[in-house]
Structure 1
Amino acid sequence: MMYLITALLLSLALAGEDSSEKREKFTFTEYDDDFARQIMFPISTAAYGWNALMIESCLNRTIGEGAGIYQYSHSCQNGECSGFVAKLPHYGAIIIGFRGTQRPGQLIQQGIDSTIRAWSKWDYGGHISLYFNKTFHTIWQGLEHRVYMYIYEHPDWDIWIGGHSLGGALATLATFFLVHSKLVQPDAVKLMTFGQPRVGDKAFADAFDNEVGYAYRVVHSRDIVPSIPRSGYWHQGAEIAV
């Protein structure tokens, strides 16, 4: 199943038409379907690229541009986890994308770690899955220097963060970290995830919602991932059902 999802996401990105002639500025404070389809879904899709060149190809064929692409990957339990950061000069935006689950074994491991092993305290409120916490910090340590550099270079740009499945959980933590750390203005940050699992407990979800203004989870009724883990876990942000 997860192989099928990965293949579908990659095929959509690689087969997409160049939308460079359809560019527009996005100015809104609530969910926007064009923004979801034209920008955030391609960001989550591009995160499945095996290297920076693949990510660049995905972005150029969907969003129409992408500069300064930097990817960091690291082995994690039963798979490889990855994230990237890039710039969209035309939109005045820094984008951050996180790769989702690559294979069934990785999804199973996420479930085991989230429901059986100890919770992990989140420094900014509540508790989160130990697996998600460890994975986030591993990937973030490889990305943060480039993220900070781009923020320093473009302090007035927006920051758009996305991910699918596991990538959505990592994107959620990255968003919370950036907003809480005061590195960026909260209203400059937009988070949108696709098929994201629950990340932490109610205290975490409440703390997240109190600090992050723009956060949407796009979910499909037939996708089981957004409904797990169950016991003790809560979703943050607003849900968009498709």
Structure 2
Amino acid sequence: MAVTAFSPVPEKCIKDVFADGVLIGQYTVQCDDNVNNTCSGFLAASASAKAIIMSFRGTHGHGELGQEFIDTLTQPPIDFIAGGKVNPFFSNAFNKLWNAGMKDAFLSYKNRHTDYSLWITGHSLGAAMAAIAGGTITKLGYFAPEKITLYTFGEPRVGNKDYAAAMDRLLPIVYRVIHHHDMVPHLPLKGMLGYFHHKSEVWYNNDMKRGDPYIVCAEDEGAKCSDSESELIWSDHDVYFGANIHFALNGCKKL
């Protein structure tokens, strides 16, 4: 579902994965002053899984990537509703999407399906927004924390140590999945402006083929996981479990 957020027609992939899956809504906003930089996400649901699915799209183009980098270097982290401080670009991107209809649709649907769980996911920038979504929704009491599962892929460092501690307190089911030499989870650099990862990391020190082993670091910035890797490359960020950002453009029947 993380890669599905890159598709202009996510309902195709949703139906391929969940026979009874429904698209609640897809939301796209201008991320910053550059009209070409957009952020996007969708809400879906499955009655058989009894779950609401919230997915956020990753970085869209080099212009957006450049703006993320500039904002990180020139703007200090800002206060986060759940505690600590977070990257201003990530926070503003999430809030713009959240207030562009996503929040209202989410609350309306979850109030009609009180027995559902919530699955939140995203890749890259989408992973950062997914983490902020999880912390926000839990802090505001919209969902019981034990009914929320947060899975992110290639998540950059989102906030400082106080933010990481707040996330660790609020959300018991969190997995930051990292592919081998993926460089993005190492950005911003650990400690720069206070940036620090929350737990828990799942590191695949391999090609992520079916059945490949992985290491779980249940603490913040686990030394035995990707922090132990010195060789960092961009290509490992583009592909997770054999799927790249183009994988779901016309559905997920390849699964």
**RMSD value, Cα:** 1.2
1:177 corresponds in structure 2 to 136
- 1:44 equivalenced with 2:2 (yes/no): yes
- 1:237 maps to what in 2? 199
Partner SS for 2:2: helix
Measure, in 2, the Cα distance between the counterparts of 1:94 and 1:239.
Answer: 23
Contact 1:69 1:85 (8 Å CA) reproduced? yes
Residues 150-165 of structure 1 aligned to structure 2 (within 5 Å): 150-165=109-124
Count of aligned residue pairs for this structure pair: 197
Cross-structure match for 1:27:
none
User: 2-side partners of 1:140 and 1:211: how far apart?
Assistant: 20
Distance apart, 1:46 and its partner CA: 1.2
In 2, Cα distance between equivalents of 1:65 and 1:111: 40
Which structure has more RCO (C-alpha within 8 Å, separation ≥ 6)? 2
Structure 1 residues 31-75: Cα deviation after superposition (integer angstroms, max 9, x where no partner) = xxxxxxxxxxxx10111112xxx1010112234442143011011
TM-score by length of 1: 0.78
**Rounded Cα–Cα distance in structure 2 between residues aligned with 1:111 and 1:201:** 17
- Contact 1:92/1:158 (CA < 8 Å) preserved in 2? yes
Paired letter, 1:44: A
1:115 is aligned to: 73
Deviation at 1:185, TM superposition (A): 1.0
Q: What SS does structure 1 have at the residue aligned with 2:172?
A: coil
CA offset at residue 136 of structure 1?
0.9
Give 1 or 2: higher helix fraction.
1
CA distance in 2, matches of 1:210, 1:111: 29
* 1:227 matched residue in structure 2: 186
SS of structure 1 residue aligned to 2:111: helix
User: Counterpart of 1:139 in structure 2: which amino acid?
Assistant: L
Percent of residue pairs bearing the same amino acid type: 35
The C-alpha deviation readout for 1:114-168, integer Å capped at 9, x for no partner, is 1221221112211111111111100011200000011101111100000000000
Contact 2:151/2:175 (<8 A) preserved: yes
Q: Secondary structure at the match of 2:6?
A: coil
- 1:180 CA displacement: 1.0
1: distance between equivalents of 2:64 and 2:140? 30
Task: Report the Cα offset of residue 105 of structure 1.
Answer: 2.3
Residues 111 and 228 in structure 1, CA contact (< 8 A), matched pair in contact too: no
- Of 107-116 and 171-180, more deviation after overlay is shown by 107-116
TM-score (norm. length: structure 2): 0.74
Q: Which letter does structure 2 place at the counterpart of 1:93? A: A
Which structure 1 residue ranges, 5 or more long, are not aligned? 1-42
User: Which one-letter code corresponds to 1:188 in the other structure?
Assistant: K
- Secondary structure (helix, strand or coil) at the match of 1:156 reads coil
